[in-house]
Structure 1
Amino acid sequence: MNWKLKGMLQRALSHLPYGSWMHFHLQRRFGGLRDFNREFDVKLSDWTIMLRRLGEAGFDISGKRLFEIGSGWYPTFPLACYLGGAARVTTVDLNRHMRPGLLRACAERLGENLSTLCAATGADEASVRARHSKLIEVLGHGGDLASATSGVIDYRAPADATRTGLEDGQIDCIFSNSVLEHVPLAVIGAMFAEARRILDTDGVMFHSVNCGDHYAYVDRSINQLNYLRFSDEQWNRWNNAFLYQNRLRAHVFIEQAEAAGFEILLNTAKASDLRLSQLASMPVHPQFSAIPAERLCITSIDFIARKSVNSEAAAGIIEDQNLNPGA
């Protein structure tokens, strides 16, 4: 499908009274939700990568209090964390996207991958299977996510990740998967400031960001750097509420985390030969000219950040900036 056509269609739907309903059904029939098993498998793979990276940083989700930004259509990450032994998983979304049918499909598909869950978490297989059995039973009788997980998963939507309402130090790990690329820059800063507040003393956050042009997944005539051809004004013709892309480069997310008082433990951002070649062969809008090619071409990043010992000093700087944005 031509990417410009998709962008204009989504932009038009975003202004219609039942646009969200129509967009969901178009996704089920023609979009990413058409092949549920394939999409689920990608998400589960991403979850196992997150667990591995957190493990390498010395963090184990067992018995921990987790917080997900961006619940999405179905809760792969929260359910996998619940089955793997997390004590609590709060998951929030700006809009209420989750669907009962997809929730049940997700739970059932997880049942086919319990060995993967056990391998990733080190959890006892008998305990994982017992939790999964109850999950399927309660969902099958029309129960909601909270009741099906004995209150472990708390789904909040609509909810604002910059104002969670949680007390200070209530969370051990905050995470997101392919979410931050859809959030305006100012909101990312506010999210990180709130993350620092609600994280416990040794708390960490993990974010996986796909900062490439998402239209390249539906239009094979373009690559993931295509949107760098346009100015902000030009890009707004195709940017829309259903697929908002901030076009921020990978290093910006690191800079925002550090400014909010975090120490970076992991940063996977790396320029590839393919992306450098693609960038060299295309025109780039002058507004990106100050960014070195080695940074501009990066289209994905995973990073882990820990509260810095100097985070309280950083807190005052961030709060001053929020109160006086022109300062």
Structure 2
Amino acid sequence: MKRRLKPDNDTEANHAFALSNGLSQLAALNEAGIDVHGKVVLEFGTSWHPIIPMLFHAAGARKVILTDIDRLMDEHTIDIAKGRILARIDDVASSLGLSQEKVRARLDTFAPEYLVPWHADRHPDASVDLVISRATFEHVPEHSLAFFLRAFHRILRPGGAMCHLIDNSDHWQHTDRSLSRLDFLRYRDESLIWRLAQLNPQAFQNRLRHSDYRAMFLAAGFEVVHESGDPDPRCLEDLRALPLAPRFAAYAPEDLAILSSLFVLRKPADAPA
């Protein structure tokens, strides 16, 4: 019944992309001096296939907590995620600096805590070392995201970290390649077409830009340890002709044209627990 009401539309290509994204997140954390081994990791918005949290488990996380608003993951989707990783075991083991045997052994012990629906306001204080997400923030309304960032700050231990990868592109373009990847910036928030499009919670896009996320992280009390996001050359060209909604008129084109943002953040060690 679940698969009829909420079909799993993930593709093998998206799984491969998720795996690469997860390895990039682990590499960014490592470069920032943040060790995953022995840590309690919470993923915000797991969806169907726990490829990335499975990678964090393989990297040595002591405990993995998965959260979502709907129960989408099950044993079948876990098996699919494991299969995707095993299909690239060479790349994964090399990236993690582990033997293939070690990675396989850790994948066999993947037993996450699955909290659905997750009530962020009830999660214990200072109980998590690392909060991660991939392609989730862009689907959260701005006021709700501010709430979750405050919750993350509270549940993280002092000195704890976050790593978030955000897709800033127009998701409508994913199914209509004739559109610019920034096409959705033309619509006013109050326009009928935009309001109707946002009624579907599965299709909601907040349209926040790289600079908006950075400002929200700082406002929530986090230090920005690392950030990356390069303007897309094609999108910079598109912006020359794209009529922008007033909301986006004051943004620098280089900010609007960032399609993917990666942030590593830290809760100050002297912050209250």
Separation (CA, whole Å) in 1 of partners of 2:220 and 2:271: 7
- SS of residue in 2 equivalent to 1:107: helix
Amino acid at match of 1:130: A
Q: Paired residue for 1:177, among 134, 147, 170?
A: 134
CA contact (8 A) 1:216 1:224 kept: yes
Q: State how 1:44-55 maps to structure 2 within 5 Å.
A: 44-55=19-30
Give the direction of change, closer, same or farther, for the CA distance of 1:268–1:131 in structure 2 (3 Å limit): closer
Say whether the 8 Å CA contact 2:159–2:268 is kept in structure 1. Answer: no
Taking only aligned residues, the RMSD between alpha carbons, in angstroms, comes to: 2.1
Match of 1:227 in 2: 184
2:36 is aligned to 61
SS in structure 1 opposite 2:265? Answer: strand
Alignment of 1:100-111 (within 5 A): 100-111=75-86
CA distance in structure 2 between the partners assigned to 1:287 and 1:263 by the alignment: 27
Greater helix proportion: 1
Structure 2 counterpart of 1:199: 156
1:122 lines up with 2:70 in the alignment: no
How many residue pairs end up in the alignment?
270
What SS does structure 1 have at the residue aligned with 2:131? Answer: strand
SS of residue in 1 equivalent to 2:239? helix
User: Which ranges in structure 2 are unaligned for 5 or more consecutive residues?
Assistant: none
Structure 1 residue 193: Cα displacement: 1.1
AA in 2 matched with 1:268: S
Q: 1:311 Cα deviation (Å)?
A: 4.4
Equivalent residue, structure 2, for 1:247? 207
Residues 1:81 and 1:310: Cα distance change in structure 2 (over 3 Å): closer
- Which runs of structure 2 are paired with 1:1-327 in the superposition (5 Å)? 21-22=3-4, 24-25=6-7, 28=9, 33=10, 35=11, 37-132=12-107, 135=108, 149=110, 151=111, 153-160=112-119, 162-166=120-124, 168-234=125-191, 235-239=194-198, 240-308=200-268, 311-312=271-272
Q: Deviations over 1:88-117 (max 9, x none)?
A: 011100111214322212122222223333
Q: Cα distance 1:299–1:23, how it changes in 2: closer, same or farther (>3 A)?
A: farther
Cα deviation for residue 124 of structure 1 reads 4.4
Answer with 1 or 2: which has the greater Rg.
1
1:240-295, Cα deviation, whole Å (9 max, x unpaired):
21111011111111111101111101111333332221111111112222223222
SS in structure 2 opposite 1:86? coil
> What CA deviation, in whole Å up to 9, does each residue of 1:182-237 have, x standing for no partner?
00111111111111112122211011000111111100110111011111122112
Q: C-alpha separation between the residues in 2 aligned to 1:262 and 1:101?
A: 37
Partners of 1:23 and 1:212 lie apart in 2 by: 27
Cα deviation for residue 21 of structure 1 reads 4.8
Q: Between 238-247 and 100-109, report the one with greater CA deviation.
A: 100-109
The secondary structure found in structure 2 opposite 1:236 is helix
1-structure distance, mates of 2:46, 2:122: 14
Partner deviation per Cα, 1:65-110 (whole Å, 9 max, x = no partner): 1110011111111212222221001110011121432221212222
- Sort the Cα spacing of 1:164 and 1:58 in 2 relative to 1 into closer, same or farther, 3 A: farther
CA distance in 2: counterparts of 1:290 and 1:225, whole angstroms: 15
For structure 1, the residue ranges without an aligned partner over 5 or more in a row are 1-17, 136-147, 316-327
Structure 1 residues 296-305 or 173-182, which shifts more? Answer: 296-305
Change (3 A) 1:69 1:110: same
Letter aligned with residue 160 of structure 2: G
**d(CA) in 2 for partners of 1:58 and 1:52?**
10
SS state at 1:175 partner: strand
* Distance in structure 1 (CA, Å) of the matches to 2:257 and 2:83: 38
8 Å contact 2:223–2:266 — kept in the other structure? yes
